Structure 1
Amino acid sequence: MQAVLTFPDLDSEIFAISLFGMEFALRWYALAYIAGILIGWRLVVALVKRPRLWPGDRAPMTPAQVEELLTWIILGIILGGRLGFVFFYKPLYYLQHPLEIPMLWQGGMAFHGGLLGVILALVLFTRRHGIALLSAADALAIATPPGLFFGRIANFINAELWGRPSDLPWAVVFPGEFAQYCPGWETVPCARHPSQLYEAGLEGLVLGAALLWLVARRDALKRPGAVAGMFFVGYGFARIFVELFRQPDFQFVSPDNPMGYAVQWGGAGLTQGQLLSLPMVALGLILLALSRRPRA
């Protein structure tokens, strides 16, 4: 008999209260965003208070500017993440149901869209305040892994974005009809890779630890663009790897395309997540090249 793990009895809501006939709930996903943003903010504040870490022993921002930037980043995450999900994953659905686009409480955020939103917010903010863009990007790169870690843990608690069918000892039987239906799988209900935890480990813990090591041991912040470049390359390759175990979005799966490739040739292809990660790797390599240029 296949040895698998049963999904823990977890509720997506931490608690709910009723006020004036309306119900308000705190969900794990919201708590993950809050924790990730707060920890990232405190990390950046701690970094800018250590001018010796930066080029010319001068931090690119003051703690007060970091707090102002936080508002811009939150807007970039929310607007970019939601619009990225709409355009990258379900454009036809939302074209037919445009009034559902602002309904964030129904779920649906895309990391790559949120990243684009953050990049745009960062560019606008640094231009407005005359802040060195690459050094500010390095700071945000260090702040991002905690949010990725908590976000993926919340995905697991919510039993969403699960992996492909698996018979490994740590495979999990997730709740829900769609999660337990695996065409051609011998065991019903089938177990799946806990790919959310793979991503939490690689994108959150491993990548975050690597960036902090580069800052503390290799003086990476003194080379503007190096830390951001390593983040883009590291996240891109981590996501490309985990996509091998992650169940693709159902809109990409068909009898002729059981692996859910967004683009394919012959028997191979790339999932949507892998396709969106390739530009990140390319951008990261460009930033690493720029960081190696001699400084005037």
Structure 2
Amino acid sequence: MLFTILGFDVQTYGLSKAAAALVAAWLLGRAFERRGLSKDSAHALVLWSTVWGFFGAKIYYLLEQLPSISLHDLGGMGFTWYGGLVGGTVAALVVVRRHRLPGGVVAGAVAVPLTLAYAIGRLGCLLSGDGTYGRPTDLPWGMAFPNGVVPTDVPVHPTPLYEVAAAVLIVAVLVHIGPRWAPVPVFGAYLVLSGMARFSVEFVRINDPVLAGLTQPQLWALVSVLVGGALVLSGRFAQAPGLMEKSLAAPTT
């Protein structure tokens, strides 16, 4: 808990998620305006994706706990990222359809805001010690969470911090390729890079293997990489808007 306002406890976890949504809304609003789209549509996209993302994350988490769901599981903690991804994606598709937005352009625009929002959310996981940390380690940067939501006195891999670092690198790559690639391949690159990052981090996390020695998040990560790779390959050589005009206007030698 960070502080209390009028008897209401403000938690690190919840505050980080709110900050992630606000940053994503601001960034996506600016991205939409640069593309001639409504900022209000960007805010609606973030709002409903966030709401239904949390709903999907909670439902997925509860399904994982079957058949022994407790009152603690029904409380404010306990969410699964990939359930949130499914719920948020469905909500985003509905908003795109209702606002008559160009799906490919939207996909390219959300890549950076989504990555930064994920990084901010993971910082909240780290600060709250919510149990998403990794295995015990004797490395110098190992961290203990004696007062965490899921406490541990043993130094463990600070895996949320690893994911934050990976997200920063992913943003750098996306910002570099954004003006050079078409929107859909940019989103595909996001899926590939974020999937590779999560797949790698899982090797030091505490999730149990479910298939072929891989954890459930690793299986989802492989799906992300495969889908993203297909999107990159399907449109990699399509030039982004504006590049074709520039190339045609350039003098020949």
Q: Give your verdict on TM over 0.5.
A: yes
Matches of 1:45 and 1:129 in 2, distance apart?
Answer: 14
Match of 1:147? 117
If asked which structure has higher relative contact order (CA below 8 Å, sep 6+), I would say 1
Match of 1:43? 27
- Deviation track 1:233-286 (CA, whole Å, cap 9, x = no partner) reads 1110000000111122xxxxxxxxxxx21123xxxx101211221111111112
Matches of 1:231 and 1:84 in 2, distance apart?
Answer: 23
5+ residue gaps, structure 2, are: 240-253
User: Which of 23, 44, 65 matches 1:90?
Assistant: 65
Match of 1:170? 141
Q: Map of 1:1-296 to 2, 5 A cutoff?
A: 13-18=1-6, 23-51=7-35, 59=36, 61-87=37-63, 89-94=64-69, 97=70, 103-105=74-76, 107-159=77-129, 160-175=131-146, 180=152, 190-202=154-166, 204-215=167-178, 218-220=179-181, 223-248=182-207, 260-264=208-212, 269-292=213-236
TM-score by length of 2: 0.85
Is the contact between residue 116 and residue 171 of structure 2 (CA under 8 Å) also seen in structure 1?
Answer: yes
- Deviation track 1:162-215 (CA, whole Å, cap 9, x = no partner) reads 1112121211233279764xxxxxxxx64211111111111x211122212222
> In percent, how many aligned pairs have the same letter?
27
- Deviation track 1:9-42 (CA, whole Å, cap 9, x = no partner) reads xxxx111134xxxx41111111111111111111
Q: CA offset at residue 294 of structure 1?
A: 5.1
5+ residue gaps, structure 1, are: 1-12, 52-58, 181-188, 249-259
| Amino acid in structure 2 at the alignment position of 1:199 | E
CA RMSD of aligned residues (A): 2.3
SS of the residue corresponding to residue 82 of structure 1 reads helix
Aligned residue-pair number? 237
TM-score by length of 1: 0.73
- Deviation track 1:113-154 (CA, whole Å, cap 9, x = no partner) reads 111111101111222222221221222222112221111111
Structure 2 vs 1, CA of residues 261 and 176 (structure 1 numbering), >3 Å: closer, same or farther?
Answer: farther
| Amino acid in structure 1 at the alignment position of 2:59 | L
